[in-house]
Structure 1
């Protein structure tokens, strides 16, 4: 008890916060009660009248185009929901029908005449509440609709609030004191802990840490004190590691510079194939060697190769953005055999150089849905890699196997194998199985990296593995959706 009194002393932060919180809560409770007592009745009355007016106006508006039965059901619904009396009067204020759904009071009918009223408010209903008389047109005939509702529950609620005042006062005091005590303890406890830690720091004791898991300003302050303590204790160690960090930064810069050089090597890798083809065609036409005597044909092919180079540069710019984002890729129906055959024609030079036999086992009825440009580039890079890295005189087998909602396109290079390390790393940018740069096996190791980027951009599963026949690349492409 003595400790509690000491903690709540006005000279301590806990006591000050407790007194301020208690006074604030009691003041708020009093203001809220007074506002409720003064303004709730009038607000509720306005709200009730507005609800009735809105419902009645909507009923009158719909009455011109509705039969009497529909109007009657609408009156019954409003009467039940809002506790309203309805009286239907003719042009002379003669009562035709009375309705109060809650008391199930229904008198007369459209042909009922009992008495003439000079003042419709004299009709039986609520004398101390809301009343209104509105012209209404029913089935082409004019009538008057007298609406009457009681607002007595409003005044009763006000009286009940006044009678409940003593209980509210007791409850507010107990709740305010209890909440203020818990609140003041909760707020000041971490402050006292911070004060104790600051005293330890003043004595150069850096071993004590503040274990406070909070996300507010107090938590940030505790973290700052812990950081300050750790920084003071470890300042010498950080100075010693500064040189190591500097060396690491230099190595990172060198790695970035190496990546830049490898990027230009990647561009050269992609341009080397069409440049080699173009050079061979031009030399053949210049010296009139074999089929190259027909210059018209091979000039057209040279122009096509130049266009491919232009398209390739554009693709390189697109692929430079591929790792960041691809917002939209247009897809169309593609005949797979036609696309593969066109790719093989473009790579005919490399096939003949390596003396590779191609066994294309694709039927004409194999159709896939994809982006033709990206799928063509994937096939081009994979087949080109197969030609370049397969042993001389081997075979390439291209087939498609139907799977649910897709086709598995497989390309097998016979006579070739890859180690487990190469199988996992070959899709990494600039990785090469063979590090030489000669024209027969050269490259910068970006071909399959581009295949990976394009396949992932299209969300196509792919895999590379060794089989009994050789190295097999498999790409799963969605088939054409049938309408």
Structure 2
């Protein structure tokens, strides 16, 4: 039992209250019992005397005296009868009968005769009354009641009936109670300690159970699914509230954890995007800086007529070619800016994908002839899809252009557009079209394949304009296909590199 624990505090408080209560009851009994007993005794004595007076008033002395003697025995009281002059006769509390009384009071006959004559004989009893020997006994605390009575022998003359009852027995009892107090302290203390121990355990047990639950909640342990207490009182309601609180906190913490994870993911994605933006800007700066420097140097040399730059027609054509490449790059950057804009929405309508492929193949026929390449095409009559025609046409053109541009001389580019059966697991039920573009004679390092869709990334690291483009072609393709919900991939095959696109047909 911890000294600062609630069980110890309950034990001390309860034990102290029990001890103090017992002592107060004991002392109250000692101090108030005599007064209470005196009041009760006085009330009973007055009531009894009133009944006695009603019984003997107007009766003869011979009838009244035995009744008064019987009353004295029952109430342990001494009775005195006085006339108006103060003379009287004493009836002791130990009166045993008429004959016994007459033997001790030989003048009774004279009393009777004088009562009949209307006078009470001498026999004065002034002062405190003793124990039956004429007032010669020890002094006692007395209760007194006086009433007026008449006897049949006395006519209209009244007598004073005095009744005295002792209080000595209750005084002795109070003294005994006080003397017995030291012996009562031991059972009082034992009872207080035992009762306090049992009470503190009963009261502290549910509180300690609730404290354990609260400590688990403080440690963010929300596995408290059942109430610790099932009572119907306030503690049971508190336990039920704590269990509900644990469930609600567990749900809330789970939601907060999910939100925190989502926030971390968003922050990480934002950091990655920021890093990509910085890399994108740095790459654009490099892509633009080199041709601008070249054109500026050529123009400056031509203006100064330095060396071979006097042949202005040659270097003007070179500068014009560089500027066209720059113009193409700028248009690609602007196109990317639109695709990455949050407000961008493609203009969706029904488009014939097969026709877009035919147009792109026609545009690349000249470059294929120059490289002595063979273009093979396998297309259906039509393949209707829902798409932004301009963007999808650009994506298809970039895919085929890359295939032709990065293949060697006398190689093949095979383009197939196949219709797949509708997937019953997907809604709505619409056909899917699979576009495959294969350029033979080349292979790409497997480690570089995932990065081909990054902006400004090129498989060959020379970054020469004579061997490749700006590195934005496949990045633009990926953005366009993502906007249309298409599936795409690029992989090496034994024949070469195959680019595959799956797009859902129109409804």
Output the TM-score relative to the length of structure 1: 0.39
Larger radius of gyration: 2
